[in-house]
Structure 1
Amino acid sequence: MGGVQIKSYFVHNGSVALHVLENGDASPDVPTLLIIGGLWEPAERAIPLLSGISSHVIAFSFRGRGLSSTPQSGYDLTDHLADIETIVRHCQLQNYCVLGFSRGASYALGWSIRNQHNIRGLILVDQPPIHNRVATETVEFWCNLVYLQIPILNFMRREALEGLGKDAKEVDFSPQLSQLQIPVTLFIGRNQEAVIQSDISDEILQLYLQSLPTCQVVEFLLSGHMIPDEEQQKYISEVEWFIKKISGQL
């Protein structure tokens, strides 16, 4: 989209400054899309969606990621949910849709289960319904990881990764899935040859379908876990289709 002007600003959750990117304007007819990125992803990783979706879209960087500030502690699920709440309140979001990718989908689930009265729909991208703890060796793995030739530490501070290692406790949302009364779509990578494999096993897929009988599944045959990069155009198109369906435009 030529001439797209994405707004960039900061919102404060107490002493933590959260960086927000926003495109488009809120509409009473089409729900806003709130994007919740993966473990290390800053708001900028959502620019293809921000610029590719025709309606109102908001993305942000959690604490310790991107341009957001990095507290020394406060990296458990409740802290991340508080960051989401800060964005939702500041942007005065109502009847909006939520998209969560990878670990961001576990944050999105935690948020949506508690706040579905104000949510129109939920997209979960290649993530089991579990908020995982982060083991010490996993922290080191992330600190040393280079993805698409860029070190992860360019996007997320080591202090934040270590904070996850200290603070994050496992929460299994499986028993609560059936409480969701909103439309849910699950994006799954199906490419067995992908370098980074899908995180959705057949067992996890069955769990979702049994808990959420109306759950729609979208398969990405050329992708593993990294659907937003590996099939970017299809990803954008499927998100747009979901929003239009929720809006009654289809």
Structure 2
Amino acid sequence: MKPISQTSINNGVSIHYLDSHPDSDFSLTPLLICPGLSETAEEYQDLLEYLMPRRCIVLSFRGRGQSDTPRTGYDLKNHVADIESVVKSTGINHFHLYAFSRGVSYALEYTRLHPDQIDKLIILDYPPEHKAMPMDWPKDYIDNYLVPFNRLSHIRPEAVMGIQRESVQRSIKFSSEKPVLVMRGLLEGSLISSEELEEYKEQFTNLHIAELKNSGHDFRSTERSKLYKIIKEFAE
């Protein structure tokens, strides 16, 4: 299975995405994927293959992968607009939404704004908030993560600096009776605390929780098979 490579246009910004459309079973609800901070659509090709024949779509947010890198436009609303442009381009109007890490912020806000489009929401290891980043974060993130791990092609420094410069701290809270799955790691490095898990319980009445005991935050390195199995079963 080779997904189709496509682009949508969000206010002049080209947003790249992969779509398993040609080989999919259209009787199954599609799944849209929001990657983490520095992740690209290409890093999810194995998940698209695993979830076949379900149609899966994964985007690279602005400043990542093959998407454009605008000079400005890196707050929450801009990333949500990236999702909106991909949804419009693909023609899906009812789907599951899966997000990892900082992508959770964008997925939560999208769900808050477009609740009727979402069938099930899958959240992986991030609290219900959009985080502002400290002034010294870009240099530390670039020098100690992107450069040594060869990820400058995944997220451009301009995007990192734009996220720090423009991101505004805010909680994302709304009530929903839709099925929601929250997954978190139980080892050091997990980004959902017990207190933040309680916040999810207060918001979502149909909440399912999965805890991966051998993972911190890098689930695909530690428990990829288990993670994918949980996602597949919840989407059914």
TM-score by length of 1: 0.88
Q: How many Å separate the matches in 2 of 1:152 and 1:223?
A: 22
For structure 1, the residue ranges without an aligned partner over 5 or more in a row are 245-250
Is the 1:144–1:152 Cα contact (8 Å) retained in structure 2? no
The aligned runs of 1:180-219 (5 Å cut-off) are 180-192=176-188, 197-219=189-211
1:81 Cα shift?
A: 0.8
* Of 77-86 and 230-239, the range deviating more from structure 2: 230-239
> Residues 155-185 of structure 1, C-alpha deviation per residue, up to 9 Å, x if partnerless?
10000111111111112013x2xx2231100
What residue is the counterpart of 1:5 in the other structure? 2
Q: How many Å separate the matches in 1 of 2:167 and 2:213?
A: 32
What residue is the counterpart of 1:45 in the other structure? 43
Aligned-partner SS, 2:114: helix
1:29 Cα shift?
A: 2.8
Q: How many Å separate the matches in 1 of 2:130 and 2:228?
A: 25
Is the 2:108–2:128 Cα contact (8 Å) retained in structure 1? yes
1:148 Cα shift?
A: 11
What residue is the counterpart of 2:122 in the other structure? 123
Q: How many Å separate the matches in 2 of 1:61 and 1:168?
A: 18
What residue is the counterpart of 1:247 in the other structure? none
1:36 Cα shift?
A: 0.1
* Of 81-90 and 131-140, the range deviating more from structure 2: 131-140
For structure 2, the residue ranges without an aligned partner over 5 or more in a row are none
Q: How many Å separate the matches in 2 of 1:158 and 1:17?
A: 18
Is the 1:185–1:215 Cα contact (8 Å) retained in structure 2? yes
Q: How many Å separate the matches in 2 of 1:30 and 1:14?
A: 31
Q: How many Å separate the matches in 1 of 2:220 and 2:97?
A: 15
Aligned-partner SS, 2:84: helix
Is the 1:184–1:216 Cα contact (8 Å) retained in structure 2? yes
Q: How many Å separate the matches in 2 of 1:145 and 1:105?
A: 23
Aligned-partner SS, 2:5: strand
Aligned-partner SS, 2:136: helix
Q: How many Å separate the matches in 2 of 1:147 and 1:53?
A: 29
The aligned runs of 1:149-188 (5 Å cut-off) are 150-174=149-173, 176=174, 179-188=175-184
Q: How many Å separate the matches in 2 of 1:47 and 1:237?
A: 15
Q: How many Å separate the matches in 1 of 2:199 and 2:66?
A: 37
The aligned runs of 1:48-67 (5 Å cut-off) are 48-54=46-52, 55-67=54-66
The aligned runs of 1:126-145 (5 Å cut-off) are 126-145=125-144
Q: How many Å separate the matches in 1 of 2:146 and 2:224?
A: 16
Is the 2:18–2:59 Cα contact (8 Å) retained in structure 1? yes
